A = this chain, B = another copy of it.
Amino acid sequence: MLVVMRRGATAEEVQQVCDVIEEMGYQARPMPGAGRTSVGVVGNDGRVDASRIIPLAGVQECIHVTKPYKQVSREWKADHTVITFANGASIGGTDVAVMAGPCSVEGETEILEAARAVKAVGAGFLRGGAYKPRSSPYSFQGLGLKGLEFLACARDETGLLIITEAMDPEGLAAVSEMADVVQLGARNMQNYSLLKLLGKCGKPVLLKRGLSATIQELLLSAEYILDAGNPDVILCERGIRSFDTSTRNCFDLAAIAVVHQLSHLPIVADPSHGTGHRAYVPSMARAAIAAGADGLLIEVHPTPERALSDGAQTVSVTEFEAIMKDASIIAQAVGRRLAPAIA
């Protein structure tokens, strides 16, 4: 349930509402807004009885949230969530964010080369995995801590913000200290223990949709993070499993429209994993922006044919440049702009 306070309700009135909620055995989540404050009620299993709250001073109305998720819903918070960074970049506002880089951090030279290249073309974020979830135990598993150090070097030199994945509590501690955005991979979307820790990690989280997750399950996983205290979640559509092998996954662009209707959280699109083929990335990047994506996540490598992982879906720097040009035109066509390159 959501308790909406009147405009001008005092801090004492808000506090009293919180106290009554806690007395009733629930937790209160005061949310100061532009015009007025709301107080969310969580911890209930079913409908909350509003009769004790409605008569309290300063209360305007009580809204029952009918979805299984609450804090991520538009009913709970009507305004888009915009996540801002110290360098002025943002995700979820008018600007369409661009996150680019190799699948894996392969070495210091390689990641620096990639960072310089994607920065030159205009990306704002460098993405690259130091910890790599691989279906085979015999595949390259990432450079780990060393990889994080190389990413830090790349940030120091270029000013790009860093997105990288965490796979377990130990790795999360290291990643959340170093990275600007912590990624949770598709295979861990329902790793609830890790979701709870992400709620305390102190950094924005990029939450990738699971291989066969419904949109409702994606939102519920985001709800874990918000409920544990972290409001800065960026969802990511990266394709779902289907029966057709002509693409690696089925890139579900309607998910962008659905999420924007149901939730205030931003959602970005990953056409590299979404299709699995370099040739389809440019048109799907355009389509994603036209569909309303708040950002793009694109695998770029200076020499894709030498990439240690995901080479088939990785574009070259030249191809990335063309994608950016097109993306910029589509962004304008839908009344937005590609986030400007960092200085």
A interface residues (Cβ-Cβ under 8 A, vs B)? 42-45, 68-70, 133-141, 167-171, 187-188, 190-194, 196, 210-212, 214-217, 220-221, 223-224, 227-228, 240-247, 250-258, 261, 274-275, 279-280, 283-284, 286-292, 326, 329-330, 332-334
Contacts and interface: CB of A to CB of B under 8 A. Distances in A.
A70 B245 CA distance: 19
Contacts of A241: 212, 241, 243
Nearest to A139: B45
Nearest to A168: B193
Contacts of A287: 253, 287-288, 290-291
Query: How many copies of the polypeptide does the oligomer hold?
Result: 4
A257 B244 contact: no
A167 B138 contact: no
A279 B139 CA distance: 31
A134, A279, A291 pick with most chain B CB within 10 angstroms: A291
B257 A243 contact: no
Given A254-B274, A257-B275, A192 B284 contact: no
Contacts of A291: 283-284, 286-287, 290
Contacts of A228: 137
Contact of A191 (B188, B284, B330): B188
Contacts of A135: 68, 190, 217, 220-221
Contacts of A255: 246
Nearest to A135: B220
Contact of A240 (B216, B244, B330): B244
Contacts of A190: 133, 135, 187-188
A329 B331 CA distance: 11
B290 A215 contact: no
A187 to B, nearest CB: 4
B137 A224 contact: yes
